[in-house]
Amino acid sequence: MTTATDGKRARTALIAYPPSQAYVVDSLRRAFKAKLADWTIVSTRDQLADGAKPDLQWSDYDEIDWDWVMDERTLVNSYAIRKALIRKSNLAHTIALHLAKNPESPLRRAAPQTFHFTCSFADELDELLMDDLYEVEQSFTEAENGGEGKWWILKAALADKGNGIRLFSTRDTLEEIFREFEPESDDEEEDEDDDEEEGHGSGANGTSIRASPEAGRAAMFGADTRVDATQLREWVIQEYVSNPLLLDPSESSDEHGTKFHLRVYVVAVGGVTVYVHHPYLALFASSAYSLPSETASETGQFDLSAHLTNTCLQTTVLGQDAPRISVSTLQSMAGKVVLGGPSKGEKLGEERIRQIETRVCEAVGEIFKAAAGAGSSFQPLPNAFEIFGVDLLVSDTFEVSLLEINACPDFGQTGEELQEVIDQLFAHTIDVAVRPFFSAAGDGAASDKEALEDSFERLEVGGSRGLKEVMRLQVRKAF
């Protein structure tokens, strides 16, 4: 191995991503040029010397060589096992286990009521609604008896990009959703052909709508987001937050307001210190918000565009009809007017943004603490770090609700206008994860943690850039 001119060992980083994520490679190269200009960057194994291992693998998860990670002198940008966080059903279990042990945890406020279960066919729901989903059944009964009832959101535990997401408030709709997800038999296909010849309607995915009008709307969610329930057997049902904070993503002063969710980048380092990156992205829905019941009654079918802020789903469902996806940062929206709820007509303001930031940091720190106590389903390694994309919803009372945690997040959601957010995220990650790791190996002084914290605290809300530590534990290493 060659040595650098100043006597330090020359370092090599293998940065490997598929062509569709070339923008990640470009951004990482800019970050290394700014922070570790003396490092050699390679993109393939062929560029390494025979038998040589890179000092750092910063790659797509599928490209990582885990045999190299067994050498604790090699750093990698992902934990091998983290399903306690990133798998929806496991996340629900992680939270439930933590709350059982820590009933006063902030997660009780930040985690919507969630149930995880297995189901392949609609016929299995009867038993589930009497047992694992009893509270969901109670909400159906309450609505049938003239009560308020609840809206729920269904998610497939292993699906991504918005596939399999559905909203429902009645038993009939839930059953129709699972009928939609069942594989079609040859007999069913023949029946559908007959129905179409007789003038019967059909759903967007080709399934006939023969149930109630509301059940029919369940099948109108979009063919491209259908999943196979017999293959994806694990599900979560989560209480739908029907009072989101509503703002106008544009300058049009839309009096109805638009729903958005926060995408917060979280950096976990070693075993384990957790940082929250500022600013937070705000990803808006593609149309003005209204209650699910109002959307259904006004349109005759369920329009997801007002309710789901997943940018992949917007593109999939709406296709060429989708308006330009609106992405901003929470910290830049202090001047926007709140368009719903108790604070309607008031500006969001810097004080409320700080309040949201505090609750986000509190929730993130607590969920990683919960994962660390969840057993073998989260195994932080001393020679690993990872950037997660944490999705949260802000209510009109400025509470935050944890929606899900994404590994290998889509950094392209920022768009070109906010690319510098990702550039800075990677640069800050080098500061807290890469440089300290190799400083311990004799490459120079470690990063000054107190200086990092001090510089962060001096930042103003509107221009906030940096990492804030929210949790530090020492978890026994996995190997």
**DSSP for 199-242?**
T--B-TTS-B--S-HHHHHHTTS-GGG---TTT--EEEEEE---
pLDDT tens readout for residues 112-123 = 999 999 999 999
Count of beta carbons in the 10 Å neighbourhood of residue 441: 13
Residue in 128, 121, 123, 151 with CA at minimum distance from that of residue 139: 151
Which element (helix H / strand E) includes 273? strand 273-278
Alpha-carbon span 88 to 84, nearest angstrom: 8
How many Cα atoms are found within 13 Å in the side-chain-facing hemisphere of 477? 10
Percentage of residues in the chain with pLDDT exceeding 90?
A: 58
How much of the chain, in percent, has pLDDT values that exceed 70? 77
pLDDT-derived band at 93 (thresholds 50, 70, 90) equals very high
The residue behind tokens 């308006």 is 323
Q: How far apart are CA 63 and CA 15, in angstroms?
A: 9
| First and final C-alpha spacing in the chain | 27
Residue with tokens 């995220």: 425
Return d(Cα 218, Cα 228) in angstroms, integer: 15
pTM: 0.85
User: What are residue 135's phi and psi, to 5 degrees?
Assistant: -65, -35
Q: At residue 218, does pLDDT exceed 90?
A: no
Confidence of residue 88 (pLDDT cuts 50, 70, 90): very high
For the chain, what is the mean pLDDT? 82
User: Which of 299, 444, 339 lies closest to 4 in space, CA to CA?
Assistant: 444
In degrees, to the nearest 5, what angle opens at C-alpha 55 toward C-alphas 52 and 59?
100
Angle between helices 22-35 and 419-429 (to 10 degrees): 50
Mean per-residue pLDDT for 449-467? 54
Per-residue pLDDT tens over the stretch 6-45: 546 789 999 999 999 999 999 999 999 999 999 999 999 9
**Which one, of 10, 6, 80, lies nearest residue 41 by Cα?**
10
Residues in contact with 89: Cβ distance below 8 Å, sequence separation at least 6, in sequence order: 116, 157, 234, 235, 236
Pair of tokens at residue 169: 């408030």
Q: Return d(Cα 142, Cα 149) in angstroms, integer.
A: 5
| pLDDT of the residue at 417 | 81
Instruction: Check pLDDT > 90 for residue 224.
Output: no
Residue 143 or 274, more confident: 274
Higher per-residue confidence, 337 vs 444: 337
Higher pLDDT, 148 or 378: 378
Instruction: Name the residue ranges covered by the structural domains of the chain.
Output: 12-76, 113-240
Contact 271, 380 (CB under 8 A): yes
In angstroms, the CA 296 to CA 301 distance is 5
